[in-house]
A = this chain, B = another copy of it.
Amino acid sequence: MIKKYVYGNPFSTEAAVENIIPSEDSIPYFEADGQGNFTLTLAENDIVYGLGEQIRGINKRGWEYVNWNYDNPNHHEDARSLYGSHNFIIISGAETFGAFFDYPGKMTFDIGYTKRSEMHIHAESSDIAVYIITGEDEKDIVKQFRKLIGRSYIPPMWAFGYGQSRWGYKDEKDIRNAAEGYRAAGIPLDSIYLDIDYMENYKDFTVDNKRFPDLKKLTAEMKADGIHLVPIIDAGVKIEEGYDVYEEGVSNNYFCKNAEGGDFVGAVWPGKVHFPDFLNPAAREWFGKKYEVLTSIGIDGFWNDMNEPAIFYTEDRLADTLSEIEKLASGNMGIDEYFRFTGMVAGLNGNIGDYDKFYHNINGEMVNHSTVHNLYGMNMTRSAFEALEKIEPEKRTLFFSRSSYIGAHRYGGIWQGDNKSWWSHILQSMQQLPALNMAGFLFTGSDTGGFGCDTTEDLVLRWLQYSLFTPLFRNHAAEGTRDQELYRFSTVQAMGEMIKIRYSLIPYLYSEFLKAALNNEMMFRPLSFDFPNDEDSLNTDDQLLLGNELMIAPVYKQNAKGRCVYLPEEMMMVRMRKHDDFDTEILPRGHHYVRAELEELVFFIRSKKMIPVCKPANSTDKIDWNSITYLGYADCTYTLYKDNGISPNPEDSLEITELR
């Protein structure tokens, strides 16, 4: 059951799609002061799940989180904010319930940080809607919540293929080299991503025609080989006379305004930009239509970036800083002045004070950005999604975003942002999955191999062995870091086998994804959700259940040749070198140390379950669905969900088959 409690006059975030009449009762479980503060006592063994993208383990106890969408490339243990704000939690213990704090500004979740036995939640204003969800168990609570917030975005089937990306593919030749590198190595590939390099001076909806003289032709050429090009779109629109998007935005007042009523100026990749007012329906519609510039030449997928929105600096703060530096420099700069100087400069990027300086036009009312900050990225993706429903009504377009709020899951996926080539970021990504699924984000994954920092060969191989299970499966790296296309490495053979294994699992992964989306379920769950009375399951934070048939337990440590795995029930361990070279072993319930050489993928099939596997193909469109065989226990069944992979409404072509 879901009950809604309203305080003050909350902003309508459109996170929920069902209209629930607010309760007259006072909120249960929490002590609420009506000033945006909610306090709850935690018993020693209570577990707190949720908070979507936030890091620090599956159980969120012990840290203070600040839900404020933030371009934070440092996914460090002490990070309090990342790109998305997902204010949904489940408290699991003697009493188990879910709570969604529907509030678009800054929120703090102190989950036993200040005081181990106390959770304190704080919204910056007293205008907030809270939903309390009770149910049979965690899975039931999630199901109810997901129904409340609406069906999750389903991407085209080709988006389940493997993708290669790199910030730094400068021209058509770089793209062709990547495609050829994969094809020559015999490694399947469904997409190549275009980072900001493809644009003309980082202007949205432009293509640099020196470096990409014929993107239409390139797109067609790639697609003929099963490879989709997926360009990036950034939130900020470059200020440049004669640039149509800029001109139209200005003349129609589609950009966010400053306090004086002028168009607000920030700076990101293009230099000085205006920010489209995605909270203004007219601006949203206008910006969305621009995607046609690219879909009209054959593009069918996009990633929306920098939409927290990221702000490298604002003109006035930079000017203040420079004038302050001038003053400091003219004196005898001592150590205090030096730290003031370097601190000011370091504080230009993402300065929280800058978000107070601009406004949205929401039905004629000027609303300060900070109060609705966390909705910006969601409405950028919504802008694209809703426009493409009209532009390409017959097919799904791939969308995923960096920034999000609950509700954004209806319009696209998200990727887990600018991680690093750190071993710990394999585990970190995995630990994010269940809470993202709770919040509706099913199409997600991490930058495989790591975005920032130099990667290593063994890290890439181990990371593949995890990511090959995630819906979004993309290798991506930052400019200036070590090349990490798979064909660069001496273990390319083994890496290629991992990609082929992915493709052989697509029938299963796609089927489980459809089930999760259509039935409001989680594709990735903590062990505890299925084994709630098993203490070791409650404490397992580096393994996940995948759908109803699999358990994954990747190796995420350098030089490790195995790992400890906990089996909450008897399972079949699969040790796979190639999709058709593997061995299996039935292991009993309990703790096991499991060997896994660097080139071996290990995963587990649950008791009395089986999964469909197919022959790998060079791209998803070439998968022969008639090649399906089964892996797992004998004498059991699997329910396969399948559609044509393209219809906007999957029900139009959905086939549900009981396989045995």
Decide if A559 touches B57 in the complex (CB within 8 Å). yes
Bound-complex Cα distance A459 to B61 (A): 12
Central interface residue in A333, A423, A561, by most chain B CB within 10 Å = A333
Copies in the complex: 2
Bound-complex Cα distance A593 to B113 (A): 28
Bound-complex Cα distance A356 to B271 (A): 36
User: Beta-carbon contacts of A248-283 to B below 8 Å, as 1s and 0s?
Assistant: 000000000000000000011111000000000000
Stretch at the interface among A14-22, A341-349, A367-375: A341-349
User: Beta-carbon contacts of A328-343 to B below 8 Å, as 1s and 0s?
Assistant: 0100011100100110
A525 on interface, CB distance cutoff 8 Å: no
> Which B residues touch A631, using CB under 8 A?
none
Which of these, B341, B423, B591, contacts A564 with CB under 8 Å? B591
Q: Which residues, 477 to 532 on A, are CB-close (under 8 Å) to B?
A: 490-491
Q: If A270-B335, A271-B335, A457-B116 touch, does A422 touch B78 (CB 8 Å cutoff)?
A: yes
A458 on interface, CB distance cutoff 8 Å: yes
A56 on interface, CB distance cutoff 8 Å: yes
> Which B residues touch A424, using CB under 8 A?
77, 424
> Which B residues touch A61, using CB under 8 A?
558-559
Q: Which residues, 265 to 321 on A, are CB-close (under 8 Å) to B?
A: 267-271, 312-313, 318
Decide if A313 touches B338 in the complex (CB within 8 Å). yes
Q: Which residues, 81 to 133 on A, are CB-close (under 8 Å) to B?
A: 113, 115-117
A362 on interface, CB distance cutoff 8 Å: no
> Which B residues touch A62, using CB under 8 A?
456-459, 558-559
Decide if B335 touches A345 in the complex (CB within 8 Å). no
Q: Which residues, 433 to 466 on A, are CB-close (under 8 Å) to B?
A: 453-454, 456-459
Decide if A490 touches B116 in the complex (CB within 8 Å). yes
In the complex, what residue of chain B is closest to A77 when comparing beta carbons?
B422
In the complex, what residue of chain B is closest to A116 when comparing beta carbons?
B457
Additional 11 contacts, C-beta under 8 A, given A113-B456, A312-B335: A62-B558, A77-B423, A77-B424, A116-B457, A342-B345, A345-B345, A345-B346, A539-B560, A541-B559, A564-B564, A564-B591
Binding site for B on A (CB under 8 A): 56-57, 59, 61-64, 76-78, 113, 115-117, 267-271, 312-313, 318, 322, 325-326, 329, 333-335, 338, 341-342, 345-346, 348-349, 420-424, 453-454, 456-459, 490-491, 535-536, 539, 541, 557-562, 564, 566, 591-593
